[in-house]
Amino acid sequence: MPTNRQILLDNRPQGEATVSNFKLVSVQTPDLQDGQVLVRHHYLSLDPYMRGRMNESKSYAAPQPLGEVMIGGTVGEVVESRHPKFQPGDRVVGMGGWQEYSVVNGNEPGALRKVDTTHVPLSYYLGAVGMPGVTAWYGLVKIIAPKAGETVVVSAATGAVGSALAALAKARGCRVVGIAGGAEKCAYAVNELGFDACIDYKQHTTLAAMSKAVKEACPNGVDGLFENVGGLVMDAVMLRMNAFSRIAVCGMIAGYDGAPLAMANPALILVNRMKIQGFIVSEHPEVWGEALNELGTLVAQGKLHPRETVAQGLEAAPEAFLGLLKGKNFGKQLVKLI
């Protein structure tokens, strides 16, 4: 069995996460037992939720244990199998974590899923046609539930979730406005992802300036907000939201370093009779089939053009992850392992 390099969470961050929170080790892969599958990971997914797991504070999921492989989605190839449903050469997606190989119990529901790479590249199953894409689908379809002609805003617009949301919302006849950092990202959002407009938050650093920019981009107000950031960005959009508007709260990356995020104008929730709902996509397995089918179709039809930022080698994962938290990535952040 092969030697397996792994990245462990060595210690918890004190404020901002650093490379020193992680530790690279090498271990021997154990022999397979009946029902187990050995997967060689090709790509590792890096996602903002991982930062919250590094903390010990109460959250929707248990903290990442110290001294164990960092959690994370993976795609790869079966190299050995003692399970009848999986054969060497099968392309699979799972939660193998920050390591080069994983031993998976093939009988555990949802632990490993075979995927077809005929029309969808393998890496897309960690982004547009994976958890981020389904996240966008659930927040849009089940919480915002937009009608044709309504305006939907999404923060972190050019990331894996925002990219998918744009295609899904345009397919429903919405005006879609993104919020992203930098002129290059905003140009990509409009020219390639199909956003009707994109606001560069780096050019609007106060609540008044951001609110004015949202008003200009959304002349008919905002009916739905898919929130990934929180803080000033969310406050500015809330000032422009219509009566009976809906907010799907997916992430609060502005507060992932532990600082509390105040809400500037909570009275707007009452004034505009807003619906605000947080959600965790893993709690809704019943929608994954429908969502993945629509997302895969959009990719195959050329209506969803996801972009990827790819770091090379397992040892690059910590720096790439910290860059993701600061918005340095362009599109889905991946680590290529092979």
CATH of the domain at 7: 3.90.180.10
9 and 109 housed in the same domain: yes
Assess whether 276 and 233 both reside in one domain: yes
| 266 and 138 within one domain | yes
Q: Note whether residue 291 is domain-resident.
A: no
Q: Residue 79: pLDDT above 80?
A: yes
Same domain assignment for residues 108 and 238: no
For helices 160-170 and 288-300, the axis angle rounded to 10 degrees is 80
Asked whether residue 315 is assigned to any structural domain, the reply reads yes
What does the DSSP 8-state code read for residue 139? I
Structural domain count of the chain: 2
CB atoms within 10 A of CB 5: 17
Q: Within this chain, do residues 88 and 144 fall inside the same structural domain, yes or no?
A: no
Same domain, 327 and 189: no
Per the model's pLDDT, the better-predicted residue between 161 and 256 turns out to be 161
Residues 6+ apart with CB under 8 A from 240: 211, 214, 215, 218, 221, 222
Residue 179 belongs to domain spanning: 131-282
- The single-letter code of the amino acid at 202 is K
Position 295 in a domain: no
Digit-coded pLDDT (tens) for 107-118: 998 899 999 998
Same domain, 87 and 28: yes
Residues 181 and 261 in one domain: yes
- Residues 191, 273, single domain; the answer is yes
Same domain assignment for residues 154 and 268: yes
Going by pLDDT thresholds of 50, 70 and 90, the confidence category of residue 258 is low
249: closest CA among 270, 273, 233? Answer: 233
Residues 20 and 68 in one domain: yes
Give residue 61's pLDDT.
Answer: 75
| Per-residue pLDDT tens digits for 143-187 | 999 999 999 999 999 989 999 999 999 999 999 999 999 999 999
Same domain, 157 and 252: yes
Alpha carbon distance 46, 16 (integer Å): 17
Whether the predicted pLDDT of 336 surpasses 80: yes
Please tell me the predicted confidence (pLDDT) of residue 47. 92
Q: Decide if 288 is inside a domain.
A: no
Domain presence at residue 277: yes
Whole-number percent of the chain with pLDDT over 90: 86
In a domain, 290, yes or no: no
- Which carries the bigger pLDDT value, residue 62 or residue 209? 209
For residue 227, being part of any structural domain is answered with yes
pLDDT average, residue stretch 198-217? 97
